[in-house]
C-alpha cells in the first residue's frame, strides 16, 4: 500500500459513483477506491471535467512516457521521480460522455518504464486517502496537505541535481496556484521539469479587472503570490492618455502570459519554456494556459512537438 503522511482535514466536490472502472489502470477498483464488497458501498466524489482537461491529461501522459523512456536509458541518472502537486482523487467524470476517466496519478502509474518514486500531494484529506489505495506500491507516497509547503519541505529535497536525480512535476490547480517560490525553486534546482496551469480565467474574474483600483486586496495578493512580486501589474496594464489625462488600460491575456513566460526563463532560470498552450472551453474562452518549463533541450523538443499536435484543438 502507498505510504501516506498525516495532515489536516479537507472537503470534497463532485459527483458520486459506486461502481467504477478506471481505463488503462489495472489495479482493481476495490483497491483504488476501497472495498466495494461491503454491504454499504463507498460513494466516491469526483470532479466533472471538460474536454480541455481530457486533452491536458493526454498531453501529460504522452510526455511522461517519452520522459521515462529517455531517462531510464541514461546510466548516470540514479532516480526518476513523478510529482503531482494537485493530485485530486485519481479519476474524473467526463462532462462530454459521463464516463469515468483516469486522472494524472493513475496515468503516471500505468507508464512503462516505471518511475523510481511517485509523490502525490492533495489538500483534501479524503481524496488523499483514496490515493493511498492506488496499487500495492512501496514507491508511492501520498501527502495530504498544501503543495506550497509539501513540495518545498519534503519532495523537492529528494530530487537534487547533484545526487543524479531527476523529476517531472505536474502543477495543475483550479485557481491561481502554486506560489512562485515553488516554481522558482524547481527552476533553480535544474533537476525538475514542470507542467503548469496558468489559470487566466481565475485571474480575469478576480484580479485583472478593467479598473484595478476596485480589485479586493486579498485577490491582488493571490496574484502576487502566484507571480512572485507585484510586477504583474505592469504586465497586465498599460498607461494610456486621452483628453482627460492618463489612465490604465487592461492588457490582453497574451501580454500577461508572455510576461509570465519571460519570468520562467529570466527569474526562475528555466532554459526552455515553449509558447504555452491555451486550453479553451466549449465557448472558445481560454480557461488556462498550459506551460512547460525545462532545462533540457530534448524535453523541450518533445513538449513543443506535443503542443503543436494539440494547438488549435485544446478544448473546443
For residue range 238-251, list pLDDT tens digits in order. 877 776 777 788 99
pLDDT in tens, 201-251: 999 999 999 999 999 999 999 999 999 999 999 999 987 777 677 778 899
Hey, how many other C-beta atoms are within 10 angstroms of the C-beta on 309?
Answer: 13
Hey, how many other C-beta atoms are within 10 angstroms of the C-beta on 297?
Answer: 10
Angle (CA) 102-104-107 rounded to 5° is 65
User: Does the pLDDT value for residue 28 go beyond 60?
Assistant: no
C-alpha to C-alpha distance for 294 and 41, rounded to whole angstroms = 44
pLDDT in tens, 162-174: 999 999 999 999 9
Q: Where are the domains of the chain?
A: 3-172
pTM for this entry: 0.85
Peptide bond before residue 219 is cis, with ω within 30 degrees of 0: no
User: Does the pLDDT value for residue 41 go beyond 70?
Assistant: no
If one compares 198 and 137, the residue with the highest pLDDT of the two is 198
Q: Residue 14's closest CA among 177, 145, 126? A: 126
Residues 6 or more apart whose Cβ sits within 8 Å of residue 309 = none
Amino acid at each position: 500500500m502507498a505510504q501516506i503522511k498525516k495532515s489536516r482535514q479537507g472537503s470534497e466536490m463532485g459527483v458520486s459513483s459506486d461502481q467504477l472502472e478506471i481505463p488503462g489502470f489495472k489495479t482493481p477498483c476495490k483497491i483504488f477506491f476501497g472495498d466495494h464488497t461491503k454491504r454499504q458501498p463507498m460513494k466516491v466524489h469526483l470532479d466533472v471535467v471538460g474536454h480541455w482537461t481530457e486533452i491536458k491529461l493526454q498531453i501529460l501522459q504522452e510526455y511522461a512516457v517519452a520522459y521515462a523512456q529517455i531517462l531510464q536509458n541514461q546510466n548516470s541518472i540514479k532516480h526518476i521521480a513523478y510529482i503531482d502537486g494537485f493530485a485530486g482523487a485519481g479519476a474524473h467524470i467526463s462532462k462530454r460522455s459521463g464516463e469515468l476517466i483516469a486522472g494524472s496519478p493513475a496515468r503516471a502509474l500505468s507508464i512503462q518504464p516505471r518511475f523510481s518514486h511517485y509523490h502525490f500531494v492533495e489538500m483534501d484529506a479524503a481524496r488523499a486517502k483514496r490515493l493511498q489505495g492506488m496499487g500495492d506500491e512501496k514507491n508511492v507516497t501520498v501527502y495530504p496537505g498544501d503543495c506550497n509547503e509539501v513540495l518545498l519541505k519534503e519532495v523537492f529535497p529528494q530530487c537534487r541535481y547533484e545526487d543524479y536525480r531527476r523529476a517531472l512535476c505536474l502543477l495543475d490547480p483550479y485557481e491561481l496556484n502554486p506560489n512562485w517560490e515553488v516554481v522558482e525553486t524547481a527552476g533553480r534546482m535544474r533537476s525538475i521539469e514542470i507542467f503548469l496551469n496558468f489559470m487566466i480565467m481565475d485571474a480575469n474574474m478576480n484580479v485583472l479587472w478593467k479598473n484595478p483600483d476596485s480589485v479586493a486586496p486579498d485577490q491582488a495578493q493571490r496574484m502576487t503570490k502566484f507571480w512572485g512580486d507585484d510586477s504583474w501589474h505592469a504586465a497586465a496594464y498599460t498607461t494610456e492618455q486621452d483628453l482627460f489625462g492618463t489612465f490604465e488600460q487592461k492588457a490582453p491575456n497574451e501580454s500577461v502570459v508572455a510576461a509570465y513566460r519571460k519570468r520562467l526563463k529570466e527569474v526562475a532560470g528555466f532554459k526552455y519554456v515553449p509558447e504555452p498552450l491555451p486550453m479553451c472551453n466549449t465557448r472558445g474562452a481560454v480557461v488556462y494556459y498550459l506551460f512547460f518549463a525545462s532545462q533540457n533541450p530534448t524535453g523541450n523538443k518533445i513538449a513543443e512537438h506535443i503542443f503543436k499536435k494539440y494547438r488549435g484543438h485544446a478544448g473546443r
